[in-house]
Amino acid sequence: MNEYRIKGLSCSGCAQRIEEEIQQLEHGEDAKLSYNSGILTVNPQVSMTDVKKILKSDNAYIEKNSETNTGHDHSDHDHDGHDHSHTEGNAKMLKMLVTSGVIYVAALLLDGVLDKQAVILLYLVATIISGYTTFFRGLKNLFKLKFNIDTLMTIALVGAVSIGEWKEATLVAILFGLNELLEGYGMEKARRSMEALLQVAPKEALKMENGEEIIVPISSLQVGDLVKIKPGEKIPSDGIVSEGKSSVNEAAITGESLPVEKESGEPVYGGSINNEGLLLVRIDKAYKDSSLAKILHLVQEAQETKTPTELFINKFAKYYTPLIMIVAALVMLIPPLLFQGNWMTWLYQGLSVLIVGCPCALILSSPIAIVSGITRNARNGVLVKGGVFLEQLGKIDTLAFDKTGTLTKGEPHVAQLEVYDEERFFLVAGAIEKSSSHPLAKAIMKEIDSRNIVASEPDEIQTITGRGIKAKVNGQTYWLGNEKSIEHIIIPDSIQTRVEQLKEEGLTLVLLADEQQVIGMFGIADEIREESRSVIESLHKLGIKRTIMLTGDHQKTAEKVASAVGVSEFYGNLLPEDKVKRIKELSANHHVAMIGDGINDAPALASAQLGIAMGKGTDSAVETADIVLMQDHLGKLPEAVSIAKKVNRIIRFNIIVSLGLKVIALLLTIPGWLTLWIAILSDMGATIFVTLVSLTILIERKKHLGKQ
């Protein structure tokens, strides 16, 4: 399938009509045209001459150099070429409207000065300049018995002219053209914001080959290639630093503005920017498989999905337009036939009803808000895979968290110390653990290093399975490990009591003893993320009623972590299938989202109405969940929820405003006060209003969510 960027689409209804017409072409049955993203997907065998002809009927056109293959990167689009042509298209339409406006004003001023026929000619010229495209589209639809916005406007124009309302007909044509132009600008603004996001992909890379530097397109990079990244340049694809040291801005991937220090052996992500040092990076993923390419592809796909609200609006508009035509016909016929009304007066009122019936604002209530919400979250490093998931995120009232790696760092750290012989405890423990790669040993060494203690090498060392380590340090034998490792000595009651207390607190104990006594012990726990408590508080303030922690750890550990982070409920000793069962129980009466690290929580993430994964661009996280936090922490979650709630609020508000203004305008027909220009102004006003309100989602406020 080939993809093309389409410019000049005037409305979502027009996009739908173009899609249907392209589908009628040979090999065109799989064609898809998204108004939200402005992307047309067609079979390569379809006649592009015919496609261009169909697009031209709506003043739409294919962006220069925009062809690409579905699923591949969009990094080599000619962004410079299309900006000019798009501006030119808008400028042309604006010139036509300004010209029409000038002629219209001239006709108004010359009315009574010039001959009546000359004034009518001026009105006719102004109407043709601004309204001919709408007129011909509507006429074509009328012959096909397709009833949409263009059909309504065409009937209204013909009707106004036929009853001699030249002034009103011209104003309708000009205002409708202006409405379309502003509607297009609004959607374009949302798309531009998205395109700016999609342009973070670099286009070329500096590849090292036989000691020489060669500039190559990023799409040609292979796994194992060595690339040089100079200060200020973008990293072309995911890889490992081979040489050099620098700080890297990973905002394109994670939304985090603070730079991350990188040195030899550390991973880097495509699209991130090298700040000051020179880096040599060994590519470990071809660009199309990189984190950035996946994110950009998913963000693009996200624009294509329709939310339940959008689907309802589109279905509603389908029946609503013919219904308005019936109402207009009744307004035209009933008063003259049954109540001796004036035919010309009620024909005029009926035409006004047709214009009021244009569902522009209603159809536009949702897409701009959705695209703006997805874009705003993507800028923050929160990847929402579709409008439907954004809408769901705004509805959730229950949020279930995995513990390890989500609320906690998933890294053991020393939480408690019991030292009975300070002189030997840290030195001996350091000597035994310094060469071990066990996670508990790393936690112990981190504690010892923080005290600036330099441990010597052990004389000999022996691992005892299921117990710990037996070692000789400075000629003396020591045992380090769990309680079983020190069974050779009698533990005093006071120490035994302390052991039980620490175990009750959910700590894992590592004890150190010589041949006669316990020298000390480390109480080790999973380290709680510093942001967890403030995130939970912010979520509660945002209206998430229940926050629930689900963990496989025993109940005491679960209780301790739950208390520290402030979740409203917790459940321990859960197997993966128990988590799924608990999620399903919660989902019966609540809108539930589950958040985990996307690897071991896949079943629970899939079971929840909304799966949220966290992890710095890990493949499994990106693939498993509906929403991905591209950071390795929860800090961006409250803002993502806040944006989603704002999107839902704005969509509801837009629907109320667009329908409310129509109801008010229609009520004006009862006393006969509705005029064509009031009708078009009410429709245009609603469209401009919902567009501007939707675009406010893109505005970022530097305000701490927890204090809202």
Q: Coil, strand, or helix at residue 544?
A: coil
402 given a catalytic annotation? yes
Q: What strands lie across the sheet with 267-268, from one edge to the other?
A: 212-217, 204-209, 226-229, 279-283, 239-243, 267-268
**What whole-number distance in Å separates Cα of residue 606 and Cα of residue 619?**
16
Q: Which helix (H) or strand (E) is 579 found in, with range?
A: helix 576-587
With beta carbons less than 8 A apart as the criterion, state whether 651 and 366 touch.
Answer: yes
Tokens of 639: 């803002």
**Residue labelled with tokens 């001023």:** 109
Q: Coil, strand, or helix at residue 480?
A: strand
**What whole-number distance in Å separates Cα of residue 324 and Cα of residue 327?**
5
With beta carbons less than 8 A apart as the criterion, state whether 619 and 636 touch.
Answer: no
Number of C-beta neighbours around residue 150 at 10 A: 28
Tokens of 656: 């109320």
Backbone angles phi, psi at 414, to 5 degrees: -75, 115
Q: Coil, strand, or helix at residue 283?
A: strand
Query: Could you tell me whether strands 68-69 and 2-7 are parallel, antiparallel, or unpaired per DSSP bridges?
Result: antiparallel
Residue 402's alpha-carbon distances to 84, 161, 579, 608, in angstroms, are 50, 67, 9, 13
With beta carbons less than 8 A apart as the criterion, state whether 613 and 589 touch.
Answer: no
**What whole-number distance in Å separates Cα of residue 632 and Cα of residue 613?**
10
Angle, CA 130 vertex, CA 128 and CA 132 arms, to 5°: 50
* Identity of the residue numbered 172: V
**What whole-number distance in Å separates Cα of residue 159 and Cα of residue 25?**
34
Backbone angles phi, psi at 533, to 5 degrees: -65, -45
Residue 509's alpha-carbon distances to 186, 440, 492, 628, in angstroms, are 61, 10, 17, 35
Query: Among the options 402, 526, 601, 626, which is catalytic?
Result: 402
Query: Could you tell me whether strands 546-550 and 468-473 are parallel, antiparallel, or unpaired per DSSP bridges?
Result: unpaired
**What whole-number distance in Å separates Cα of residue 456 and Cα of residue 467?**
23
**What whole-number distance in Å separates Cα of residue 354 and Cα of residue 369?**
27
The set of catalytic residues is 402
